[in-house]
Chains A and B, each alone.
Chain A
Amino acid sequence: MSELEPIAPCRHMRGLLSRLADGTLSGLALWFARQHLGGCTRCRSAHAALLSLREQLARLHGGTDRLEGDRRERLEHRLDALEKQRPE
């Protein structure tokens, strides 16, 4: 059985790690975060966990469901009505 801990980075790194994980960190902040990660196991682990979480969240994107039949029908009627309100 593996061990798993809640993410517990150094307090001043919380916001930076989140942005590092989604690639929006830049400039001096990016340099600082990378320097810190180089010497801090706890933050490296937190960063890896955030990257993994983001991958899982991205996989939720999409779907194959469709509108139910009666709703699709009602939608088409409403679209027809909108067209009638706006004669060409």
Chain B
Amino acid sequence: MSQSATRQRFSEMLAQCEGLLLGHARRLTRGDDDRAQDLVQEALVRAYEALLSEKFKEGFRPCAWLIRILTNYFINDWRRTKKWDAGVTVETLTMGGELGPTSTRAPGVEEQLSERTYDEALERALAALPEGLRLSVLLVDVEEYSYAEAAEVLGVPVGTVRSRLSRARFALHARLVSVAREKGWVR
């Protein structure tokens, strides 16, 4: 494939997957939008390099392939810098910009239970999970990877992904129940 055709292919992949990549990167970085943008940029450079080297095979799902490159880059970056626990700015987790700092006005019941509020609680619960559990949930439950695909990306056996998912799901639910009680949504 010529370079111009490869570039065109890459642009199409980017148009299709950019939002998904940024959403995934923001979760990986626990809401650090600046770092998420850097992460996506670096991953895209690596992806283009791989595309030029014809490492993308027909039959791959483009977005899953890019998510995999992004996740690998994140894991390698962490191993280099041990910065997985860098500043958490969970307020940014449910945006494109629509959710600002928490309002001081007491919200109504409908607002409390709105989808956005629930999503924020869920994002916070996700951000609070230990890394191994969090990555397993992000890949399998959010990005729809199979256990085998997630195991390959994370470099662990399938059984480990399975047990991490189980622990993560129970932990997430427990956290959501706790938040719901704190907010007075439930008894």
For residue A59, which residues in chain B have a CB less than 8 angstroms away from its CB?
Answer: 119
Q: In the complex, A78→B178 CA distance in Å?
A: 46
Instruction: Give the size category of B's interface with A.
Output: 35 or more
Does B20 count as interface, using CB distance less than 8 angstroms? yes
The answer, yes or no, to whether A10 is at the interface (CB within 8 Å) is: no
The yes or no answer to A28 lying at the interface (CB within 8 A) is no
Contact A6 B177 (CB under 8 A): yes
**Of residues 137 to 187 in B, which have CB atoms within 8 Å of A's CB atoms?**
137, 140-144, 147, 162-163, 165-166, 169-170, 172-174, 176-178, 180-181, 184-187
Contact B186 A64 (CB under 8 A): no
Enumerate chain B residues within 8 angstroms of A66, measured Cβ to Cβ: 18-19, 22
Per-residue contact bits, chain B 35-73, to A (CB 8 Å; 1 contact, 0 not):
001101100110011001000000000000000000000
B165 touches A22 (CB 8 A): yes
* Alpha-carbon gap, A26 to B22, bound state (A): 35
Closest 7 CB pairs of A and B: A63-B23, A18-B166, A63-B19, A57-B141, A4-B186, A65-B22, A6-B174
Given A18-B165, A57-B122, A62-B19, list of 9 further CB < 8 A pairs? A4-B181, A15-B163, A19-B166, A50-B173, A61-B20, A65-B95, A65-B96, A88-B2, A88-B3
